[in-house]
Amino acid sequence: MRASLLIPTLNEGESIAHVLRTFREASERANTGIFASDPVHWEVIVIDGASTDETVARARAEGAQAIVEPRKGYGRAYLTGFARSTGEYLATLDGDATYPAERVPQLLHYLIDQELDFLSGDRLAELDPKAMTMEHRIGNGLLNLLLRVAFHRFLRPVAGHSIRDSQSGMWVFRRRLLERLELTQEGMAFSEELKLEVVIRGFRFEEVPVRYAERWGRPKLSTWRDGRRNFSYLLTKRLALEKELRARARREAARAHPSAP
């Protein structure tokens, strides 16, 4: 079985080798354990936003492929990474050692075993308050609340009728989903767009609690700028969906009563 691990990086030279090593050890263990009957051949791709530190050299020294994507943005990096990867299954996490890289094989196993389409790590279920600044916790809380209120009718099939951690960047999913998703966001709003698209299009989505640790290296996120953009993305997406639903309802009504004005 073939799978791809994708990691976007921007100056994560301090942590990238640690993340890649942690993942490699776990995947080797899993290939003689839970995946012994069908070992996973992992393609590991770092999508680097033209870092000025040692990120690319360190990633390559650990045996990862490193693609340089000079166009800015977290979402841009993933769009490029998705297009360049070949695995039947895709997994993602940050390069800053915040997500538990050692859990990727186990999450893949769970996705396959439970016949799910998309798994997302939920950082908030067991959050160590040191791992996220107060601003990030407030921002995440507000974005999750807006998402729950604005999209509640689309979230009915999801456990708890909500996405608990809309901003999480640790996912494991089936590549075939990508053909059906409309992904437009090149910045941080990519994370919520991806999850919403998965749910709205009716795929089987589940969140699993994951440990989230304090990041290594300097933050790349601009709390207020990215928070504002994510907020306005959610509102724009909701209005666009409303228009689409109304147009569909009009088309259906016209089909049912062809002579009506």
Residues that bind ligand GTP (CB under 6 A): 8-10, 12, 47-49, 69, 72-74, 77, 94-96, 98, 136, 169, 215, 219-221
**Among residues 62, 96, 192, 193, which is the contact residue for Mg ion, using CB under 5 A?**
96
Q: Which does 49 bind (CB under 5 to 8 A by kind): Mg ion, ligand GTP, none?
A: ligand GTP
Distance separating alpha carbons of residues 62 and 59, to the nearest angstrom: 5
**Binding site partner of 81, from Mg ion, ligand GTP, none, Cβ cut-off 5-8 A by kind:** none
CA distances for 180 relative to 79, 116, 119, angstroms: 14, 16, 17
Which has the closest alpha carbon to 108: 165, 42, 45?
Answer: 42
Contact partner at residue 120 from Mg ion, ligand GTP, none, CB < 5 to 8 Å by partner kind: none
Going through the chain in order, the beta strands assigned E by DSSP cover 2-9, 41-48, 65-68, 89-92, 118-122, 171-174, 205-209
Using CB under 5 A, which of the segments 34-42, 95-103, 132-140, 194-202 binds Mg ion?
95-103
**Residue 226 engages Mg ion in binding (rule: CB under 5 A):** no
DSSP state of 167: T
Closer residue to Mg ion (CB): 34 or 125: 125
H/E segment holding residue 49: none
- Is the CB of 40 or the CB of 47 nearer to ligand GTP? 47
Answer yes or no: are the C-beta atoms of 96 and 55 closer than 8 Å: no
How far is 180 from 259, CA to CA, in rounded Å?
34
Judged by beta carbon distances under 5 to 8 A according to partner kind, the member of Mg ion, ligand GTP, none in contact with residue 84 is none
Q: Please tell me whether residue 94 binds Mg ion under the rule CB under 5 A.
A: yes
Positions touching Mg ion (CB under 5 A) are 94, 96, 98
